[in-house]
């Protein structure tokens, strides 16, 4: 029996160490959760500049720029990983959601912040996360309400002001990253408040 087969058998058929493909799949599933809230086609012309405001319409107003909610220094302080400046994901951002991603030179771990108009979506997103990814844990984030973590703390959803905000810390480690994601979420909530 190969080492991979043995590990898979010992962990109930799942590899104990997530691969880059699994992490990318998780990131796609995370974004797909938000797609259930309703999406329109992405605006390929959306550009990023640190601290700029994204002017896409979101219900009663414009969405805040998710790249302005975290600085690379915030991410380094929480995770110990140096990241490049955040960049808007123009393929997945649209008039109902805005997504920013921070990556180190090697690509992993990476951070993603999604802002969606309508804080009331936290209940729907929580239910979707539970059905797609398993057990959901309540967490406390200063300045936020309805905060929860899923997938070993990799994904944290919360309501802040009039927005649903999702903060993700995608790592190749199987370790619980709740402390890192919670620290990042606290920074994002403070910046949005």
Is 116 within the bounds of a domain?
yes
Is 141 within the bounds of a domain?
yes
Enclosing domain of residue 72: 18-192
Do 90 and 142 form a contact (C-beta atoms < 8 A)? no
The span from the CA of 118 to the CA of 108, in Å, is 30
- pLDDT value at position 153? 92
Is 139 within the bounds of a domain?
yes
- pLDDT value at position 34? 42
- pLDDT value at position 105? 83
**3-class DSSP state of 53:** coil
- Give which of 131, 133, 187 is closest to 155, Cα–Cα: 133
- How many domains are there within the chain? 1
H/E stretch holding 116? strand 110-117
- pLDDT value at position 9? 37
Is 134 within the bounds of a domain?
yes
What DSSP string runs through 120-169?
THHHHHHHHHHHHH--EEE---TT-EEEEEETTTTEEEEEETTEEEEEEE
Is 91 within the bounds of a domain?
yes
Point out the residues of the chain with pLDDT beneath 70: 1-61
Do 162 and 60 form a contact (C-beta atoms < 8 A)? yes
- pLDDT value at position 14? 35
Is 186 within the bounds of a domain?
yes
- pLDDT value at position 119? 86
Q: How far is CA 122 from CA 91, 98, 109, in A?
A: 23, 16, 25
Is 99 within the bounds of a domain?
yes
- pLDDT value at position 173? 83
Q: What is the CATH number of the domain that holds 22?
A: 3.40.1000
- pLDDT value at position 68? 96
- pLDDT value at position 193? 85
> What share of the chain has pLDDT > 70, as a percent?
68
Using a cut of 0.85, tell me whether the model's pTM lies above it. Answer: no
The span from the CA of 52 to the CA of 68, in Å, is 7
Is 9 within the bounds of a domain?
no
157, β-bridge pairs: 148, 166
- pLDDT digit string, tens, across residues 22-59: 444 444 444 444 433 333 333 333 333 333 333 333 33
For residue 183, the tally of other CB atoms under 10 A from its CB is 18
């Amino acid at each position: 029996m190969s080492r991979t087969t043995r590990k898979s058998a010992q962990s109930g058929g799942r590899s104990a160490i997530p691969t880059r493909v699994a992490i990318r799949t998780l990131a796609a599933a995370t974004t797909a959760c938000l797609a259930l809230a309703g999406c329109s086609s992405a605006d390929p012309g959306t550009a990023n500049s640190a601290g700029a405001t994204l002017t896409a319409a979101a219900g009663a107003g414009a969405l805040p720029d998710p790249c302005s909610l975290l600085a690379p220094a915030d991410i380094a302080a929480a995770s110990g990983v140096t990241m490049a400046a955040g960049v808007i994901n123009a393929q997945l951002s649209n008039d109902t959601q805005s997504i920013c991603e921070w990556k180190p030179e090697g690509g992993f771990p990476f951070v993603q912040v999604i802002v969606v108009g309508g804080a009331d979506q936290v209940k729907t997103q929580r239910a979707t996360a539970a059905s797609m990814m398993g057990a959901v844990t309540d967490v406390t984030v200063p300045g936020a309400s309805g905060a929860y973590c899923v997938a070993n703390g990799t994904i944290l959803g919360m309501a802040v002001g009039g927005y649903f905000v999702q903060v993700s810390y995608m790592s190749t480690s199987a370790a619980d990253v709740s402390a890192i994601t919670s620290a990042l979420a606290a920074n994002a909530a403070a910046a949005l408040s």
